[in-house]
């Protein structure tokens, strides 16, 4: 048996082992990222003790991946994605603010909290919120 055959046999074995198990999802990636960050922190001289808490998310993600209780893992994933929504929205807004920094300014409607984007360099203008109709003056 050459190397290629050995490798494909190992892949087949792994596939058989993972059958009926949950595998990897967004939570796993998040846990692995946390673990990775803690491991990097633990590389600093006086912060070596971060190595042990770094193992916790790593072990958790492995346990989740090997779990056979798929319905429980799916409901965990749904809760996780729902909880991550505002964080994702915040990151997207910050990215857009950086992208549009030369052309647009962002304001928050004080009544309904929606974010409004207006072009820069128009002087003092009256802004009407398209969602709730609230009017306010801002300098752009």
120 φψ region: left (φ > 0), alpha (ψ -120 to 50), beta (else) = beta
Among positions 43, 101, 111, 122, the unique one binding Zn ion when judged by CB under 5 A? 111
Residues 38 and 54: beta-carbon distance below 8 Å: yes
Exactly one of 42, 96, 134, 140 binds Zn ion (CB under 5 A); which one? 134
Q: How far is the CB of 86 from Zn ion (least distance, A)?
A: 18
Residues in the chain: 140
Residue 128: C-alpha distances to residues 16, 100, 114 (Å): 60, 20, 12
- Write down the least CB distance from residue 62 to Zn ion, Å: 46
Give 55 or 112: the residue with its C-beta nearer to Zn ion.
Answer: 112
Closer residue to Zn ion, CB minimum distance, 27 or 109: 109
Q: Choose among 41, 60, 61: nearest CA to 49.
A: 41
CB of 95 to Zn ion, least distance (A): 22
- Least CB distance to Zn ion at residue 99 (A): 23
Provide, rounded to whole angstroms, the least separation between the CB of residue 127 and Zn ion.
10
The yes or no reply on residue 118 touching Zn ion (CB under 5 A) is: no
Site size with Zn ion, rule: CB under 5 A? 7
120 binds Zn ion (CB under 5 A): no
Torsion sign (Cα): 31, 26, 66, 78: positive
Q: Are 101 and 46 in contact (CB under 8 A)?
A: no
Residues that bind Zn ion (CB under 5 A): 109, 111-112, 129, 131-132, 134
């Amino acid at each position: 048996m050459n190397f290629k055959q050995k490798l494909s046999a190992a892949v087949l074995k792994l596939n058989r082992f993972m059958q009926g198990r949950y595998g990897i999802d967004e939570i796993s990636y998040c846990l692995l990222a946390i673990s990775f960050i803690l491991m990097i922190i633990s590389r600093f001289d006086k912060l070596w003790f971060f190595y042990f808490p770094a193992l916790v998310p790593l072990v958790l993600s492995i346990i989740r991946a090997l779990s056979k209780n798929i319905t429980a893992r799916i409901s965990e994933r749904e809760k996780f994605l729902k909880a991550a929504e505002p964080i994702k929205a915040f990151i997207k807004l910050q990215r857009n603010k950086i992208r549009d920094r030369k052309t647009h300014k962002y304001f928050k409607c004080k009544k309904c909290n929606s974010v409004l984007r207006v072009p820069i360099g128009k002087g003092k203008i009256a802004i009407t919120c398209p969602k709730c109709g609230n009017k306010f003056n801002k300098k752009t």
